[in-house]
A = this chain, B = another copy of it.
Amino acid sequence: MPVFTEESSPEMLQRAAGLKKPPLPRVSSPAPVNVDRTADGAKHEVVIIGTGPAGIMLSLMLARYGVSCLPVEKVTSMIIPGQADGLQPRTLEVLRTLGLSEEVFSQGFPNHRMAFWNPGGPGEPRIVRTAVTDDVTVPTRYPHKVLLAAGRVVNILERQMNKYGNEVERGTEFLKYEFVGGEFPVRVFLRDVVTGREYSVFTKYLVGADGAHSKVREQMGVKLQGESTDYIWGVVDAVLKTDFPDIRKRCAIHSDAASIMAIPREMIEDQQYMTRLYTQLEDVVDATSTVANAASEQEAKARARERRQRVTLPRILDQVKKTMAPYDVEVVKVDWWAAYQIGQRVATKFAVQDSEGADRVFIMGDACHTHSPKAGQGMNVSMMDAFNLGWKLAFELLGLAPKGSLLPTYEFERRDIAEQLIAFDNAFASKFSQKMGDDGLSHEDFFKVFHTGCGFTSGCGIEYEQSSLVEKTLVKALDNSLNPDFGLLRSGRRLINIPVRRFSDDAPCEFHDVLPASGHYVVLVLLPKLFKDPRVQQQLTYLTSTLPQKFARGILEPFIIHPLRSNDDVEWNMFPKALKEDWEWNLLGDVSGQGYETFGVDRDAGVVAVLRPDGVLGGVWDIDELAPKRRVESYLAANLSARGTKSLL
């Protein structure tokens, strides 16, 4: 257009790199400033040992929230030769809130379907397809997995963390820690693996994300409890040429020879797509000489060691070919292979306390739980450990929560999940390792374990128990007969996504996408049909004007959903003025009707809920609880510092 006069603001010229989410407000004393963050005596609010999926997720969360943190990694290169390869639907939902899902999708492979292959009957081929099913059967924003090497997932998170101003200190080894008291009561001894320099830094919290052989866990004096089994498996990532028709679906193959789990993987070069194959190894276990029937622990260990040495790449590939016959499997390129023994173990504790009883040292991820890889859980449960711990550490450090209130809930919530994980894995892995017919195992049994496990394995069905952060009460306005895996607003579970239509611009949106990703609490109201009722209007005024002022500025956001079938039937003047003035984007219409239905909410009654910063429902109540001194307020007051409180930290 032919412009003849023009003037720009100075900021306009600098708005290029995209916006970052603002940090959480800080009401505690400022973060320590170090000229050199790895100098002897440097101070950090948090030190994280290990930057696999759990460590990098925690470092990223803390960087986004505005907490000072030193992530250290023993390995000197940026690369983690990851074994894990699967991102589950709930992990994808979380990555989406962090603005990372698109990069994961563009690099990874989405897996939608699972095929079951079993021994053929008389006159049939050696293996036959018995069933094909959706891989994910519970409602979720993304009804599929994404397969992508853990190393690449970690890199995606690390690049975002770099944008938020933090970096990993590589080539840095953890030696030990000790409690020293004071403002930074944990002294952490580190070593530069290149120069050999040893030094120590001081921190408020130390987190071990240093894997199955965690040195932090060892220092904590915490043990893994559980057992190894006799099942020996090989795993290989390879580019294959094959006439097996389902090679791009996840396949559970039980043949007369052995069992295989085949997983379609991402592209590694142009048009070179990998397949991951987990294969049981015949003949490696001898029934007369198992670990279980060994005379002594020493003998058991010796037997296990001897067996492991028999696992080689050619042997794995031979087994694959034998199991998948009559189909041809030609290996074009092997990217990675490994051998492992199935074992399920959980740490007895996830945190230890200083002499004053405050949680100071934590472990996450593989340092807390080890199990078989076939249900694709490791990377996911690890990242979710960090996602759970991240905001709790931040709220504690920033003075946003009553002192000491949040951190004990980390072990309480995540150890329970780890135990459920181990129980599921035990059932799934052993059924997978058995031959069809053994101990009466049928395809139907196996299929059932797979299906009923989907709530848990997808990460969408996990539920935290009653605590200060999860208030469970009977809500009259909810249809409690619903299966919470498939719907229902249920305290302790993540909020299920619903499609909504935002009121201010009448844009169709996914509810998950409009929720804040900045660590805020959300008070969510699903309005009753007659929301012009003066009592409801009073509740809304309280929600939009009074309640947010009780806590740190911006830490609480109201979201309001109306039940009408079109935004055209709604006008701003049907609501308190503060709603348009302060929360213009937070009024949404359930115009499809799906939301109230999915959540099981009675349209005549409405409901109120509080969402924690991790997207988990902290409480769900009848709408009358949205009033001064009632339960919404008391839940929040128990978990958030009152505005104006001078932090004692």
In the complex, identify which listed stretch (A49-57, A107-115, A252-260, A287-295) lies at the interface while the others stay far away: A107-115
| Binary contact track A5-18/B, C-beta < 8 Å → 1, others 0 | 11111011111111
Cα distance A571–B77 in the bound complex, in angstroms? 45
Cα distance A572–B343 in the bound complex, in angstroms? 39
Q: Is the CB of B267 within 8 A of A19?
A: yes
Q: Summarize A's interface: helix, strand, loop or mixed.
A: mixed
Q: Is the CB of B264 within 8 A of A16?
A: no
Q: Is the CB of A268 within 8 A of B11?
A: yes
Cα distance A206–B626 in the bound complex, in angstroms? 67
Other-chain contact of A506, B16, B132, B336, B372 (Cβ < 8 Å): B132
Q: Does A314 contact B (CB under 8 A)?
A: no
For the complex of A and B, 6 pairs with smallest distance between CB atoms: A102-B102, A248-B505, A6-B338, A248-B504, A1-B373, A5-B339
Q: List 26 A-B contacts (CB under 8 A).
A: A1-B83, A2-B341, A3-B340, A5-B308, A5-B338, A8-B81, A11-B269, A12-B81, A12-B237, A12-B335, A13-B79, A14-B79, A15-B151, A15-B152, A16-B151, A17-B155, A19-B107, A99-B106, A110-B507, A111-B507, A112-B507, A241-B581, A243-B580, A248-B505, A248-B584, A264-B505
Other-chain contact of A18, B4, B106, B228, B370 (Cβ < 8 Å): B106
Nearest CB in chain B to that of A21: its residue: B270
Nearest CB in chain B to that of A79: its residue: B13
Q: For residue A508, which residues in chain B have a CB less than 8 angstroms away from its CB?
A: 112
Q: For residue A308, which residues in chain B have a CB less than 8 angstroms away from its CB?
A: 4-5
Closest beta carbon of chain B to A319's beta carbon, Å: 15
CB neighbors of B among A550-576 (8 A): 568, 571-572
Q: Does A332 contact B (CB under 8 A)?
A: no
CB neighbors of B among A228-245 (8 A): 228, 237, 241, 243, 245
| Binary contact track A261-302/B, C-beta < 8 Å → 1, others 0 | 000100111100000000000000000000000000000000
Q: For residue A571, which residues in chain B have a CB less than 8 angstroms away from its CB?
A: 245
CB neighbors of B among A322-350 (8 A): 333-343
Q: For residue A249, which residues in chain B have a CB less than 8 angstroms away from its CB?
A: 505-506
- Given A6-B336, A7-B313, A313-B7, A269–B19 Cβ distance below 8 Å? yes
Cα distance A21–B337 in the bound complex, in angstroms? 27
| Binary contact track A108-144/B, C-beta < 8 Å → 1, others 0 | 0011110000000000000000001000000000001
Q: For residue A5, which residues in chain B have a CB less than 8 angstroms away from its CB?
A: 308, 311, 338-339
Other-chain contact of A15, B113, B149, B243 (Cβ < 8 Å): B149
Q: Does A371 contact B (CB under 8 A)?
A: yes
Q: For residue A228, which residues in chain B have a CB less than 8 angstroms away from its CB?
A: 2
Cα distance A492–B21 in the bound complex, in angstroms? 44
Q: Does A427 contact B (CB under 8 A)?
A: no
Closest beta carbon of chain B to A548's beta carbon, Å: 14
Closest beta carbon of chain B to A499's beta carbon, Å: 14
Cα distance A228–B507 in the bound complex, in angstroms? 37
Q: For residue A16, which residues in chain B have a CB less than 8 angstroms away from its CB?
A: 78-79, 151-152, 155
Q: For residue A183, which residues in chain B have a CB less than 8 angstroms away from its CB?
A: none
Q: For residue A342, which residues in chain B have a CB less than 8 angstroms away from its CB?
A: 1
Q: Does A22 contact B (CB under 8 A)?
A: yes
Other-chain contact of A81, B13, B83, B248 (Cβ < 8 Å): B13
Nearest CB in chain B to that of A502: its residue: B248
Binding site for B on A (CB under 8 A): 1-9, 11-19, 21-22, 77-79, 81, 83, 99, 102-103, 106-107, 110-113, 132, 144, 149, 151-152, 155, 212, 228, 237, 241, 243, 245, 247-249, 264, 267-270, 308, 311, 313, 333-343, 370-373, 378, 504-508, 568, 571-572, 580-581, 584
Q: For residue A371, which residues in chain B have a CB less than 8 angstroms away from its CB?
A: 1
Q: Is the CB of B13 within 8 A of A341?
A: no
Q: Is the CB of B337 within 8 A of A7?
A: yes
Closest beta carbon of chain B to A553's beta carbon, Å: 12
Q: For residue A102, which residues in chain B have a CB less than 8 angstroms away from its CB?
A: 102-103
Q: For residue A9, which residues in chain B have a CB less than 8 angstroms away from its CB?
A: 333-336
Other-chain contact of A505, B77, B113, B580 (Cβ < 8 Å): B113
Cα distance A133–B342 in the bound complex, in angstroms? 60
Cα distance A16–B159 in the bound complex, in angstroms? 11
Cα distance A378–B1 in the bound complex, in angstroms? 8
Q: Is the CB of A3 within 8 A of B338?
A: yes
Q: Is the CB of A132 within 8 A of B15?
A: no
Closest beta carbon of chain B to A105's beta carbon, Å: 9
Q: For residue A241, which residues in chain B have a CB less than 8 angstroms away from its CB?
A: 581
Q: For residue A370, which residues in chain B have a CB less than 8 angstroms away from its CB?
A: 1-2
Cα distance A340–B4 in the bound complex, in angstroms? 6
Cα distance A568–B115 in the bound complex, in angstroms? 12
Q: For residue A378, which residues in chain B have a CB less than 8 angstroms away from its CB?
A: 1
Nearest CB in chain B to that of A233: its residue: B1
Q: Which of A19, A333, A371 has the most CB of B within 10 A?
A: A19
Other-chain contact of A372, B1, B17, B311 (Cβ < 8 Å): B1
Q: For residue A269, which residues in chain B have a CB less than 8 angstroms away from its CB?
A: 11, 19
Cα distance A493–B581 in the bound complex, in angstroms? 45
Q: For residue A13, which residues in chain B have a CB less than 8 angstroms away from its CB?
A: 77, 79, 81, 151
Q: For residue A112, which residues in chain B have a CB less than 8 angstroms away from its CB?
A: 505-508
Cα distance A378–B81 in the bound complex, in angstroms? 48
Nearest CB in chain B to that of A425: its residue: B1
Cα distance A467–B335 in the bound complex, in angstroms? 48
Nearest CB in chain B to that of A568: its residue: B132
Closest beta carbon of chain B to A64's beta carbon, Å: 13
Q: Which of A12, A270, A504, A572 has the most CB of B within 10 A?
A: A12
